Amino acid sequence: MALLAAAVMTLPLAACGGEATDSSAESKQESSQESTQESSPEADDASGDAEASQGEDTEQGTEGQGTDYDALLEDIIPDETVTLDVFTQLANYSGEQVGWFAQVMLEKFNVKLNIIPDPDGAGVYETRMESGNLGDIVVWGHDADDYLNAVNKDMLFGWEEEDLLDTYGPYIKEHMPYALEKNREISGGTLYGFGGEVVEDPNATGDFTYSWDLRWDLYKELGYPEIKNLDDLVEVLAQMKEICPTDDNGKPTYGVSLFSDWDGDMVMYVKSMASAYYGYDEFGVGLYDPTEQVFHPALEEGGPYLEMLKFHNTLYRRDLLDPDSMTQGFSGMAEDYQNGTAFWNIFGFLGSSAYNTETHTSQGKGMFTMSPSEATPISYGLSIYGNDRLWTIGSKTQYPELCMAIINWLCTPEGRMTMSYGPKDVCWYYDENGKTVPTELGRAVMLDGKKEMSDGYTGAFADGGCQINNTTWSQDATNPDSNGETYNRLKWDSFAAEPQSEIEADWREYTGFNSRDEFLRSRDVNFAPATTYSASVKPEELTVIWNQVTECIRTKSWEAIYAKDDAEFDKIVQEMITKAEEYGYAQCVEFQENEAKIRKACEDAVSQ
């Protein structure tokens, strides 16, 4: 561990993870969630270089690459429209990209995007690996097992082959050196891509993932009752159901609506509650406390996962959990929040983003942040190394230059802004002071994704959004084309200055803050610093055991959520523990405890 820490301090670009082996062996690495890096001389130099080149980039346009690059693009953009297959493990959509983003891709690159998702259990990844062709652009959910298997089987295009990055990815090369070097390290010395959520400032911190959105109009009607802990939250949700028993369509209301599409090693909402309430980070078959640097196995007696499992069962037994939660997908849950079926969600992008439409806010309704006072939600720092959700290019593509040019454009300020907020000058622009300002259309669609596009773009804004479902820069990274603002619209002067509705004004007046980020930072948080930690690849025999164990945890967790009383809940939990142990749960915990030691070493190296 001491040698590992010293290596990280000496070589800040190197990935900090499990023991590396050659390409035929099991152990490369997987990155953790985005976190903040302590500054190193190299990082300060990179940040200074970025600032020094900012003016030059702006003069050359948002691509920041000049007329020579534009001429290169003209040579590779096809005369006839080309369809590129985008295999993405992060997508919730299948088929041809439609709407305004499809029009942007057609206008800029003369391409159509065929989105190929990788839903759990569908075998899409395995099928494409067997075929020998993953696709043209390939996006990964993690940079470990599946990704490294593809690397070892030459399924990805090296970004330094034929000077691909130098020639067609100049913005990436100049502005994301640490993210690129991290990928080279975990990939055995060859560069294949980079992970999203990058920042250039090694000291940057991000907005909160867990925003604790609550139906503020109902909370106001109840007289703003105190919410100290989860028990108080349950009671408030029960009172909300009494005063608002039906949604917009006359259907029964609930405290929360869940879905199972995004479950991983555990049930997503159960483990996420531990992150939202205690500030523990999802970590394999358990959770990691970044403050105490302690690993809590999922089935630990009295541990955070089982505690939050019991919490969700309590909601179900109080008729506060949508009974369709286990069987409905993402779209079903989204409809619930759009219709006001559920009153609370720990994720802002699933709660307030869906509910706070112009229709609702004009009626004095809205979801805004109110976390229990005893909660210490996790706050992820931001990383110059990026996260583990990778952008790569398939080795069998006929258009590597075109794929690189598209990814490069998505990394430019204009591309990053477009991916989130729509086309420049149609949905947003920079004013005379360099501040980011939404157009009338832009403000409307940013506040309500169901609004129709115009100015030559068709369909509802949300329906036409980029379906690849990955990012390049973090939303809290500085946008160099602006005057000191980030990609986070909630922090633009044009958005943050004034409340967008009377109900938001009430929230601001009651809390004394102008944004949920300010509010949450005023309370205790559990901070997860950025490191170069990447998870070790599991041995093949452990992978088989791991899959059986995690399937057992997911299945039995859902059964426990729907238990009718304490006795049935306890019985199901004991069955889960017994079966998981029979499958080899102890081996999974042993592996993850070792990962926790490696992560701790990386964190300690950063803190020094």
* DSSP string computed for 82-111: EEEEEEETT-S--EE--HHHHHHHHHHH-E
pLDDT confidence tier of residue 197, bands split at 50, 70 and 90: very high
The pLDDT value given to residue 607: 67
282 burial via Cβ count (<10 Å: 0-12, 13-18, 19+): buried
Written as one letter, the residue type at 365 is: K
Residue 16 pLDDT exceeds 80 = no
First-to-last alpha carbon distance for the chain, in angstroms, is 14
pLDDT confidence tier of residue 261, bands split at 50, 70 and 90: confident
- Which structure tokens are listed for 548? 């059986």
551: left (phi over 0), alpha (psi -120 to 50) or beta: alpha
The pLDDT value given to residue 65: 67
- List pLDDT tens digits, range 198-229: 999 887 777 788 999 999 999 999 999 999 99
State what percent of residues in the chain have pLDDT above 70: 88
Average pLDDT, the chain: 88
The pLDDT value given to residue 170: 96
The pLDDT value given to residue 44: 37
The pLDDT value given to residue 67: 67
Phi, psi of 85 (to 5 degrees): -80, 125
Report which listed range, 204-208, 492-496, 510-514, is most confident. Answer: 510-514
The Cα-based distances of 317 to 145, 255, 568 in angstroms read 39, 12, 12
Written as one letter, the residue type at 608 is: Q
pLDDT confidence tier of residue 254, bands split at 50, 70 and 90: very high
More confident residue, 532 or 423: 423
Q: List the beta bridge partners of residue 114.
A: 85, 96
Q: List the beta bridge partners of residue 296.
A: 287
- Which structure tokens are listed for 487? 């990609």
**CB atoms closer than 10 angstroms to residue 467:** 23
Residue 402 pLDDT exceeds 70 = yes
DSSP letter, residue 392: E
Average pLDDT score over residue span 116-129: 91
pLDDT confidence tier of residue 43, bands split at 50, 70 and 90: very low
Which residues are within 8 A (CB) of 520 and not within 5 positions of it... i.e. 6 or more apart? 208, 211, 212, 369, 371, 377, 379
Q: Which of 475, 472, 453, 456 is nearest to 464 (CA)?
A: 453
**CB atoms closer than 10 angstroms to residue 202:** 24
- Which structure tokens are listed for 428? 């947003």
Task: Report d(CA 283, CA 71) in Å as an integer.
Answer: 46
Rg (CA), the chain: 24
pLDDT confidence tier of residue 63, bands split at 50, 70 and 90: very low
The pLDDT value given to residue 162: 92
The Cα-based distances of 583 to 284, 285, 305, 536, 578 in angstroms read 16, 13, 19, 21, 9
State what percent of residues in the chain have pLDDT above 90: 74
The pLDDT value given to residue 454: 94
